[in-house]
Structure 1
Amino acid sequence: MTTLTSSLSKRRWFKLFRQIRHFCCMPWKEQSMIAEAFLLLAATRAALLVVPFRAAAGWVGVIVPPNAPGLSPAQGLADEQRRIAEEVATVVRRASSMAIFESTCLPQALAARIMLKRRDVSSVIHFGVRRGEEKKLLAHAWLEAGDMDVTGGAVASQYSEIALVI
C-alpha cells in the first residue's frame, strides 16, 4: 500500500509530465512567451526572497499612494494592446501553474508588468490589505492594464488599496 505522500508525489510528477508534453506541442510563439513568463516568475520570486519589497517594486516603477495627485483614471486599451495584455495574462497564469516554486500574486504581477512594459503596454500594480481570520493582516497585489485586470483582479474588491506602482 502506498502512502499518502508518495501518491501525492506521483500525482505531482504526472501533472508535470503532462504539462511538459502539452508545452512541447504548443506553437513556438506561445512556448517562448510561457518560457519568458516562467523565467520572470522565478526571477521575481527569488528577488523577493533576498531584496526588500520596496526595492523590488522600485525596479518596475514608482511607488505612490492610491490618492496621489495627478493620477488619472484608467484609460481603455487599443485593440492591439488589449490582445497583448490578454496574451500576457494567459501565459503568466499558465507559467504560474507549471511552477514548482510558490508563485503568488506579487511575483505574477511583477512578471506580467515586465512583460507588458517590454511590449509597450502601460500597466499599474495595485497593492491592498485586509483582515483575515484571527485579525491577521493579509496582502494582495494585482495588475491592471488600462481598464483590464491582468493578474489578481478577481479578488481585488476584497482589499483596501494602499499603494500603486506606476
Structure 2
Amino acid sequence: MAVVAAWLLLGVTRLLTLALPFRVVRHLLGEQRSPAGPGASPVPPQLRPRDLIRARKIGWAVRTAATRTPWRSECFPQALTARLLLRRARVPHVVTFGLRRDGAGALRAHVWVTADEVTVTGGSRESWTGVGSFAWAPRP
C-alpha cells in the first residue's frame, strides 16, 4: 500500500514541480534552515527506533515507486513525496538542496531527505555542497 501511495504522490509532486514556481512549492518543505557546511545537512533530531523504521520504509517505498513511474521521478519529486509521507507519519526530517560541478564544469543540483542517520531519498550526498535546507518536526 505504501508503494501505491508513493507512486500517486510522485505523480502529483512531479506536476507541482513542472507547473508551479519554486517559491510556491517551497511552502511544502517545512521551516528553512542553513546547512552546517559542505555536503552537510542541518542535524535533525535523534529519532526513536520506531521512527527510524518508518523512515526506512518510506524511503524504500518512494525509491521503489520512482522506478515504476512512466514519467521522470527524479530527486525533487522523490524528496517532496518522502517529505509528505514522513510528515504524515510524524517523523522529523530535513530536506536539503545541494550543488556541485560535473566533469564539464556545469553546475548540477540535487536534493535529498534525511531522518536522523537515515538517508530517506537522494542516495550518496558526499560530493554535494548543501546550499539550503528545510526541516520539519511535530510540535509537542
- TM-score, normalised to structure 1's length? 0.74
User: Contact 1:75–1:147 (CA<8 Å) still a contact in 2?
Assistant: no
Structure number with the higher strand fraction is: 2
Q: Could you say which structure has the larger radius of gyration?
A: 1
DSSP 3-state at the match of 1:130 = strand
- For the aligned residue pairs, the C-alpha RMSD in angstroms reads 1.6
Per the alignment, residue 7 of structure 2 pairs with 38
Whether 1:146 and 2:112 are equivalent positions in the alignment is no
Stretches of structure 1 that go unaligned for 5 or more consecutive residues are 1-31
Please list the CA deviations of residues 51-92 of structure 1 after superposition, one character each: whole Å capped at 9, or x if unmatched: 11232121231333325xxx9733332111011111101110
Per the alignment, residue 111 of structure 1 pairs with 81
Stretches of structure 2 that go unaligned for 5 or more consecutive residues are 136-140
Which deviates the most, 55-64 or 35-44? 55-64
Q: Name the structure, 1 or 2, with higher relative contact order (CA <8 Å, separation 6+).
A: 2
**Aligned partners of 1:125, 1:76: CA distance in 2, in Å?**
16
Question: What percent identity do the matched residue pairs reach?
Answer: 32
Per the alignment, residue 59 of structure 2 pairs with 89
Change (3 A) 1:72 1:63: closer
Amino acid at match of 1:96: A
How many residues are treated as equivalent by the alignment?
A: 131
- TM-score, normalised to structure 2's length? 0.87
